Amino acid sequence: CDEIFLETYTSVWKGDLKKLNLKFKKIERVDLEENINKILTIAKEKKVAILIPGDPLIATTHNSILEEAMKMKIKFEIIHNASILTAISETGLQIYKFGKIASISWYYSEYPYDVLKQNKKIKAHTLFLLDTSPKPMSPKEGLKRLLEIEEKRKESLINKESFCIVASELGSKNKKILFGKIKEMLDINFVPAVIIIPSDLHFSEKKFLSSLKNLKI
Amino acid sequence: CDEIFLETYTSVWKGDLKKLNLKFKKIERVDLEENINKILTIAKEKKVAILIPGDPLIATTHNSILEEAMKMKIKFEIIHNASILTAISETGLQIYKFGKIASISWYYSEYPYDVLKQNKKIKAHTLFLLDTSPKPMSPKEGLKRLLEIEEKRKESLINKESFCIVASELGSKNKKILFGKIKEMLDINFVPAVIIIPSDLHFSEKKFLSSLKNLKI
């Protein structure tokens, strides 16, 4: 590649490009959203790579870039990567039992609660991704947000006695998987992390989670 | 590693281990299910790797191996990989709008139809994985199966006029993404492939799919 751009706002970047001896430019959200034409104009002439933590195209931003590239008739290639969306299978929860995914962001939105409601309707587990910008949201803050919306909406979807799973850095040596009731998780401050609110847990899923607990915590 | 096992029944293996100069043993489904203790007994003494196409732990089999390993107090490490579960974002469909995933297998089961029904209820897209064993199922065979169940159940979930997406080898140079009505897909025979039955398509999703069609087919 002639130019390499690195995006680090959708997730925490753990790679080390210096080890690979690669020259790169860090870019911000605004460069990929409002100012994407700058990068695409370069891509008209030169080979350009945009590096992204996790699997690309999961964030809507990256999808829009492809649309623009197609309009400008720029050829592109997508290289997939491991993603939290499948890494959550380390919790022992069946990936087939997950429903829609939701992000909990710093700006107030009841959308995550609506997704939980939809998933509950079809007995699906819900994965919540936590906002990373301007600072990463902790499990504590994410759970508090869900309880706040419950407080307001009173639809009895979730309370402090509900089971939840908090997972951090899956696939790495620092991975943590915590399983318990929400009330036990209200002081969990580590980041990056995701929250899973499971639907009815199968006996074997519970057993797996409990055995993880013994091994990992 | 002292011993490397390669599993190739959950998906098509496209890697080339000979290039990496790795010695490995091909294993079958039965080696990972009924006879897994054989491999775990070796793992008690030696460093063992089990290679899997796609992200590990997506198939229930692989999850059970971890459970057994924990029982036997064998330390393990999981290395995640790109997966069809996120690669489907190449279709331009929002990953956040997908519901539960289902597999269509050669043995008759109405489970995929039930999942479609659940997902429709919450306006979620449905990803169908197609059986790979004893031979890979084609999109044509998968779609026919869904129409057959509709014929029997008559719940008006799906018909020949429904939109569907057929995707093959995403993330590779040979990728194919077809978008159209089911009746237009009933002679699609290539494998490996997955089928997506979308819920209501957003205008921008439709536009993206249509532009892909122009570019790729």
Out of B57, B121, B207, the one facing A90 most closely (by C-beta) is B57
pLDDT in tens, B166-187: 999 888 888 899 999 999 999 9
pLDDT digits 0-9 by tens, B119-155 = 999 999 999 999 988 899 999 999 999 999 999 999 9
* Average pLDDT score over residue span B201-217: 74
Predicted pLDDT of residue A101: 96
Give the contacts of A93 (CB within 8 A, at least 6 positions apart): A125, A165, A196, A198, A205, A209
Contact call for A55 and B87, based on CB within 8 A: yes
* Closest CA of chain A from B114, distance in Å: 10
pLDDT at residue B213, as a whole number: 64
| pLDDT band per the 50, 70, 90 thresholds, residue B216 | very low
Query: Does A95 contact B57 at a Cβ distance shorter than 8 Å?
Result: yes
| DSSP of A118-175 | HHHHTT-EEEEEE--SSSPPPHHHHHHHHHHHHHHH---S--TTSEEEEEESTTSTT-
What is the interface size between A and B, counted as CB pairs within 8 Å?
130
Maximum mean pLDDT: which of A120-129, B47-56, B59-68: A120-129
Contact of B72 with chain A, judged by CB distance below 8 Å, is answered with no
Q: Which of residues 9-68 of A touch B (CB under 8 A)?
A: 55-58, 60, 63, 66-67
pLDDT at A212: 75
Minimum distance, in Å, between the CA of residue A125 and any CA atom of chain B? 9
Q: pLDDT tens for residues A86-96? A: 889 899 898 99
Q: ipTM value of the model?
A: 0.89
Task: List, for residues A62-76, the tens digit of each pLDDT value.
Answer: 888 888 888 899 998
- CA B79 vs. chain centroid, Å, equals 18
**Which residue ranges form the domains of chain A, and what is each CATH number?**
3-71 (3.40.1010.10), 84-216 (3.30.950.10)
Which residues are bridge partners to B3 per DSSP? B48
Strand positions, DSSP E, A12-124: 25-27, 48-51, 98-104
Q: How confident is the model at residue A214, as a pLDDT?
A: 52
Q: Which residue of A has its CA nearest to B81?
A: A82
Any CB–CB contact under 8 A between A105 and chain B?
A: no
Highest mean pLDDT (candidates A62-66, A155-159, A189-193, B54-58)? A155-159
Which residue of chain A has the CA closest to B85? Answer: A86
